[in-house]
Amino acid sequence: MNEFFSILKPELLITAIIFILLFVKITKTMKTSALLLLIQGLLLLNFVGGFFFNTEGNLFGDMYFSNHLLMMQKSILNLAVFLISLLFANCLRHHEHLPEYFILMLSALLGMFFMISSQNMLMFYLSLELATIPVAAMANFDLEKKASSEAAMKMILSSAFSSGILLFGISMLYGATGTISFNEIPFALDGSVLNILILVFIFTAFAFKLSIVPFHLWTADVYEGAPMATSAFLSVVSKGSVAFIFITMLYKVFQPMSETWYNMLIILSIATMVIGNLFAMRQQNIKRFLAFSSIAQVGFIMVAISSGSAKGISSVVYFVLIYVFSNLAAFGVASVIATQSGKERIDAYKGLYKTNPFLSWVLALALFSLAGIPPTAGFFGKLFLISAGAFKANYGYIAFVALNMIVSLYYYLVIVRAMFMDRNEQPIEKIHLHPANKIGLIICAGGIVCIGLISWIFDHIQSLVG
Amino acid sequence: MPNVIYILLIPILPFAAFLLLGLFGRKYIKNGAGIIGTLCMLIAAALALYIAYGYFFDYGKLDGVYRKIIPLKYNWLEFSPGISIDMGIVLDPISVMMLVVVTFISLMVHIYSLGYIKGEERFPTYYAFLGLFTFSMLGLVISTNIFQMYFFWELVGVSSFLLIGYYYDKPSAVAACKKAFIVTRFADLGFLIGILVLSYYGGTLDFNELIQRLASPESNEFKTAIASSFLGLSAITWGTVLVFIGGAGKSAMFPLHIWLPDAMEGPTPVSALIHAATMVVAGVFLVARLFPVFAISAPEALNLVGYVGAVSALFAAVIACTQTDIKRVLAYSTMSQIGYMMFALGVSGYGGEEGLGYTASMFHLFTHAMFKALLFLGAGAVIHYVHSNDMKDMGGLRKFMPVTHITFLIACLAIAGVPPFAGFFSKEEILLAAYQHNTSIYWIALITSGLTAFYMFRLYFNIFWNKEHHAHGEHHGEGGFVMMMPLILLAIGAAGAGFIHFGEFVSSDGAPLASVFHLQFSIAPVALGFAGILVAWILYKKQNDKPDKIAASVKSLYIAAYHKFYIDELYLFITKKILFNLIGRPVAWIDRHIVDGLMNAIGDLTRGIAELIKGFQSGKVQQYALYFLCGAVGLLLLFIYIWH
């Protein structure tokens, strides 16, 4: 019994927080600002708690599995959610349905935890839905805005469509192999045409969640319409968790078909990077810009996944950790600016440095890291992703990836230039930062600067992967 | 064995000063900033001396040979087994010598700046940057790993950029710091590719292992590297040549020297530290660090080093004769002297008597640091006094600035190679090494040494003699004790450093090398040096204190000035008109029409494609589902019918 608690600790902690929030909501005992502080405290506790009393093991008749690497992945996701609670404090704290928002977010997080720990197709499917449906509700959270409802509607419809195809794939899998356990499937796969059908159908579900081209079309619309916190959650937490389970699915379940999915990854990653970069270049809205930039980033993650090696796993985990800091910092700055000045166009950022030097520096740092400029952490993240990808010794492909990295430099630097160099008669006025926002941004900036330089972190992740 | 903490403190103290002054300087410790920085440097310099004493006289020698000691090595980042970036400390004769040189010169500059920069708004920032620079330079010299060196190499570049651009409200300073950064960045690209080539063939980034593998003909790595050739040169030669390009950029070797004269826009003490004694010799240090690889495995590359050095030495000396900005004269002189160090390495062999050039090069690096820093600091005092860089505004200053005058004279005698000053001994060794191995380089060097004496004394007479100086009302003396003390200390170094038996301590293979001294050999260079001084004396030491000769002397002064003017014009004509039109214009045309055109074409192309495919993003969710399905079916078709 004791083991049960320690293995399932991350999920239990999240559930406990959900119950506390439900209780607070029902009794209506707290004001929203105090409530936000409570939520932040609980999430911090949850993050810190993730480092203690971790046990490896199986539960629920081998449906659920946990080890130290998974604990690490869950801690990264916990950290991201904690940072979201800080970074979006100023737009969330006046919301009357604040507890519901976090209940939804934590439910989705709970789904993700079960998802990355799943050992069985059924478990995987259920948790995937738990990780998706609350997010659609979160997208609708700007209740009075039409765009927000539209985003939610698009998301729920698209994900329903994707789930349909996934279920179709799973049912064929069961029909072909007679099992849905991750441990047994590999022995029953033989690479036949039916197996390819299964792989492609299941692959599309991941492609949809990760916004891999051409399954990415919902992304920009949803990011643009949804509240900023939801977009940030989608781009960082949701993508990170799906990338983790994607690796398990490919490396473990579809191991016998590695040749096929390797080629799939290569083709789609090229398409994803190119389309993501091209569209990111012509965006005028910062949210749509970040949507396409995150699509391009996923292309780089796929490069590392294609290696099919332990290095691929460790570099993806490391990259997601860095991505949490970099992308959340970018979203965080965009969010405070949008909340206070109502401006979301990139043109409006011209001359920002004159009025808001702190925000400009943090955003510049985040963009440098996303672009992979040394010595920010993003450079090391990309370095390991690409060197993992180079494992397969297909240098033409790697050269193409590097070329894309250079192209992406261009559009990240356009924003930096707008902030620091372009003149503007009416720059965005001085923005007052809520202390929580400031703390969050400082943590992100610190992470961007330090994580690459502290080599211990990557070594630790490598040792967990084994 | 040395205590690691002491060695570690040497770079960490300046870094601590940088952090402290950079973070809190402008708000909290405005006035104490200089003192804090100087104290940190003082302790670091004392520790460096302590380490040097211990290394050279106590634990450094094993069986009569100075060995490499690695007291600390931390595995910072492992790429694959064998290839890893380490952060560590190596103690060997050249790194210990550089520790002493860098900390000592930096300390002098710290002290001097207390007077020179006093009262400026960004005083703490200046000291913070000095600390950062010193830290990076020290990290560079103690590197155990070629990547560690590259890391600090770039950091040195950044801090130098910050210091040159210190007067950031002056457009010329901003242009200069950008130029320095871009030119050296370009060269550093060569360095980086060189590192990749060497590490690919050597299978390691560690200096020790790299040298062991690539400089011993028995090893497998050596055999493969020699066997794989490109355009007739082996992989090792290519690697070393590329590394040398990086070194040539930092050390302002022809034709990558163009940033150095402009870099004089920085504060003068900074020029003394960076552009005379420390950063610019990093290229020499780099070649010396990899010397066994150059000497044993890549003689072609070493030859290139020799000729580039010799050409730079002569080229810069000729230009120095025509400049009127005193800092620019010193800049070209620095380039010329570094050319000496480079070709001394180029004519050297590895081990025993053959390694005389190596010892001579390091010896000259050491003595040059003393007298060139002294010259720059002296020039700084002069500029501080007359508020101008131009010789026209100077003259007759010897009575007004006696300490500066005497110390400057000592430095000039040292650089001109007059015995018994420091420059004489090191230059003799270099000339001897060149004479023994490569006579054409020897003749270039000999001519250069005559020119050196001429332009240095032209500078000296123009500043301190020549016309009478009329004191204006606002004059404020030479500068206080803090500005005089470094001059005096450096003058002692410039006068006496030559008596050190350098070969005892520093040699290509670590075994002591007896200093040989041939009296008859010294006659030619010393005579040429005196001839140079004499010509300068005739041309520039004109006094107009005898009223009856005023007319005649003015006339001859005018004639001399006219000729000089003519040379300057010729030089300007060659550089500005011919070089600009023949090389600059075509390059600019290529840049504007081909490079830019290509960039625009790529930009247009991507924009065009983006325009073409934007229809995908229609906003209609049913269409998204259609594309989704098309994607899935497309993948299926691809993998079932084509790839299966």
Residue range B84-97: average pLDDT? 86
| B621: nearest CB among A158, A263, A458 | A158
Beta-sheet pairing, B233-234 with B229-230 = antiparallel
Reported as a pLDDT band with limits 50, 70 and 90, residue A322 is: very high
Q: How far is B146 from chain A (nearest CA, A)?
A: 18
Would you state the pLDDT for residue B613?
64
Number of residues that this document lists for chain B: 644
Q: Given this model, what pLDDT does residue B573 score?
A: 61
Interface of A to B at Cβ within 8 Å reads 153-154, 157-158, 161-162, 165, 193, 196-197, 200-201, 203-204, 207-208, 214-215, 217-218, 220-221, 260, 263-264, 267-268, 275, 278-279, 281-282, 387, 407, 455, 458-459
Among the residue ranges A226-235, A238-247, A371-380, the one predicted with the least confidence is A371-380
Interaxial angle between packed helices A286-305 and A310-341, expressed in degrees from 0 to 180 and rounded to the nearest 10: 180
In A, which residues are within 8 Å of B630 by CB distance? 214
Q: Is A57 left (phi over 0), alpha (psi -120 to 50) or beta?
A: left
- According to the model, what pLDDT value does residue A294 have? 93
Gap between the Cα atoms of A242 and A222, Å rounded: 18
Contact B120, B97 (CB under 8 A): no
Nearest-Cα distance to chain A for B112, in Å, is 34
* Least confident residue range of A200-209, A373-382, B514-523: B514-523
User: pLDDT band at residue B416, thresholds of 50, 70 and 90?
Assistant: confident
Closest chain A residue to B643, measured at CA:
A260
| pLDDT of A117 higher than 90 | yes
Residue of A217, A268, A413 to mutate when probing chain B, most B C-beta within 10 A: A217
Which of A226-235, B319-328, B483-492 is modeled with the greatest confidence? Answer: A226-235
Does A98 have pLDDT greater than 50?
Answer: yes
Q: Distance between CA B172 and CA B170 in Å, rounded?
A: 6
Q: Residue B561 pLDDT > 80, yes or no?
A: no
The reply to whether residue B628 touches residue A162, judged by beta carbons under 8 angstroms, is: yes
Task: Give how far B613 is from chain A: nearest CA, Å.
Answer: 9
Label residue B318 exposed, middle or buried (CB < 10 Å: 0-12, 13-18, 19+): middle
Nearest CA in chain A to B604: A278
Task: Give B518 or B448, the one with higher predicted confidence.
Answer: B448
Asked if the Cβ–Cβ distance from B632 to A218 is below 8 Å, we say: no
**pLDDT recorded at residue B545:** 41
Q: Which residue in B613, B628, B639 is closest to A215 by CB distance?
A: B628
Judging by DSSP bridges, how do beta strands B83-91 and B229-230 pair with one another? unpaired
Provide the pLDDT confidence category of residue B549 given band limits of 50, 70 and 90: very low
Average pLDDT of the residues of chain B? 80
Which of these ranges, A346-355, B80-89, B127-136, has the smallest mean pLDDT? B80-89
Give the chain B residue whose CA is nearest to the CA of A211.
B628
Q: Do A197 and B636 touch (CB under 8 A)?
A: yes
* A252 to chain B, closest Cα gap in Å: 20
Comparing B515 with A137, which gets the higher pLDDT?
A137
Residue type, A202: I
* Predicted local confidence at residue A327, as pLDDT: 95
Q: Is residue B540 a contact partner of residue B466, using CB atoms and an 8 Å limit?
A: yes
For the ranges A3-7, B173-177, B524-528, B590-594, the lowest mean pLDDT is seen at B590-594
Look at A200 and B627 and tell me if their CB atoms are within 8 Å: no
- C-beta atoms of A215 and B609 within 8 A: no
Which candidate from B610, B628, B638 shows the least CB-CB separation from A281?
Answer: B610
Q: Does the beta-carbon distance from B607 to A200 stay under 8 Å?
A: no
Structure confidence at residue B603 as a pLDDT band (50, 70, 90)? low
Q: Does residue B620 sit at the A interface (CB-CB below 8 Å)? A: no
Cα distance between residue B402 and residue B549, in whole Å: 27
CA dist., res. A338 & res. B41, Å (int): 48
pLDDT at residue number B251: 87
Q: Say whether residue B617 is in contact with chain A using an 8 A CB cutoff.
A: yes
Q: What is the pLDDT of residue B218?
A: 79
Lowest mean pLDDT among A265-274, B176-185, B482-491: B176-185
Residues in A closer than 8 angstroms to B628, CB to CB, are 158, 161-162, 165, 204, 208, 214-215, 217
**Which of B75, B612, B618, B621 is the mutation pick for testing A, counting most A CBs within 10 A?**
B621
Q: ∠ CA B132-B137-B143 to the nearest 5 degrees?
A: 125
Distance to chain A for B79, nearest Cα, Å:
9
Scanning every residue of chain A, which has its alpha carbon at the shortest distance from the alpha carbon of B640? A193
Q: Give the Cα separation of A365 and B447 in Å (integer).
A: 53
Candidate from B53-62, B68-77, B383-392, B610-619 with smallest mean pLDDT: B610-619
Question: Mean of the pLDDT values across residues B258-274?
Answer: 82
User: CA–CA separation, A449 vs A377, rounded Å?
Assistant: 6
pLDDT class of A165 with cuts at 50, 70, 90:
very high
Q: CA of B617, closest CA in chain A: separation in Å?
A: 6
Mean pLDDT taken over chain A: 89
Q: Say yes or no: B630 contacts chain A, CB-CB below 8 A.
A: yes
CA distance B309 to B339: 4
Per-residue confidence (pLDDT) for residue B565, from 0 to 100: 35
Question: CB of A218 within 8 A of CB of A314?
Answer: no
Query: In the prediction, which pLDDT does A315 show?
Result: 93
User: Could you tell me the residue range of the domain that residue A280 belongs to?
Assistant: 2-465
State yes or no: pLDDT of B557 exceeds 50.
no
Which of A71-75, A414-418, B323-327 has the lowest average pLDDT?
B323-327
Distance of residue A439 Cα from the nearest chain B Cα, in angstroms? 19
- Sort out which chain A residues have CB atoms less than 8 A from B73's CB and list them: none
C-beta atoms of A196 and B640 within 8 A: yes
Contacts of B585 (CB under 8 A, 6+ apart): none
Q: Could you report the predicted ipTM of this complex, rounded to two decimals?
A: 0.81
Q: What is the pLDDT of residue A396?
A: 86
Cβ within 8 Å, pair B631-A196: no
- In total, chain A counts a number of residues equal to 466
* Backbone torsions φ then ψ of A344, nearest 5 degrees: -120, -5
Asked if residue B597 has pLDDT above 90, the reply is no
Contact B616 A221 (CB under 8 A): no
Residue A443, pLDDT score: 94
**Beta-carbon separation of B627 and A217 below 8 A:** yes
Pairing type for strands B83-91 and A57-59 reads unpaired
CB contacts < 8 A, A to B, total 81
The conformation of residue A431, written as its DSSP 8-state character, comes to P
pLDDT at A331: 94
pLDDT grade, residue B432 (50/70/90)?
confident
CA distance B624 to chain A (A): 6
Q: Which residues of B touch A165 (CB under 8 A)?
A: 628, 632
Higher pLDDT, residue A56 or B581: A56
pLDDT over 60 at B22, yes or no: yes
Residues facing B61 on adjacent strands: B66
Residue B84 phi, psi (nearest 5): -145, 155
> In this complex, do A196 and B636 lie within 8 Å of one another by their Cβ atoms?
yes
How many independent structural domains does chain A possess? Answer: 1
Q: Is the pLDDT score of B581 beyond 70?
A: no
Q: Given this model, what pLDDT does residue B580 score?
A: 55
Residue among A158, A204, A263 minimizing CB distance to B632: A204
pLDDT surpasses 80 at B13:
yes
Question: B640: which chain A residues are within 8 Å (Cβ-Cβ)?
Answer: 193, 196-197
Q: Which amino acid is at B258?
A: I
Residues B564-574 have pLDDT tens digits of 334 444 545 65
Q: List, for residues B103-146, the tens digit of each pLDDT value.
A: 999 999 999 888 887 777 778 888 888 899 999 999 999 999 88
Q: Which residue of A has its CA nearest to B625?
A: A158
Interval A410-460: pLDDT, tens: 888 888 888 887 788 888 888 888 888 999 999 999 999 998 888 888 888
Helix and strand counts by DSSP (H, E) for chain B: 26, 6
Q: Is the dihedral of CA A292, A295, A296, A297 positive or negative?
A: positive
Chain A partners within 8 Å of B607 (Cβ)? 281-282
Cβ–Cβ contact B74 with A under 8 A: no
Q: Note whether A267 contacts B644, CB cutoff 8 Å.
A: no
Alpha helices in B347-480 (DSSP H): 356-386, 402-416, 422-437, 439-464
Q: Which of B207-216, B242-251, B318-327 has the lowest mean pLDDT?
A: B318-327
- What percent of chain B has a predicted confidence (pLDDT) above 90? 5
What digits encode the pLDDT tens for the residues B348-402?
Answer: 888 777 888 888 888 899 899 888 999 998 888 888 888 777 777 777 777 778 8
In this prediction, residue B592 carries a pLDDT of: 64
Please give, rounded to a whole number of angstroms, the shortest distance from the CA of B243 to a CA of chain A: 21
* Interchain CB distance below 8 Å, B77 and A455: yes
Q: What is the pLDDT of residue B554?
A: 47
Query: Smallest CA–CA separation between A154 and chain B, in Å?
Result: 6
CA of A215: which chain B residue's CA is closest?
A: B628
pLDDT at position A1 is 58
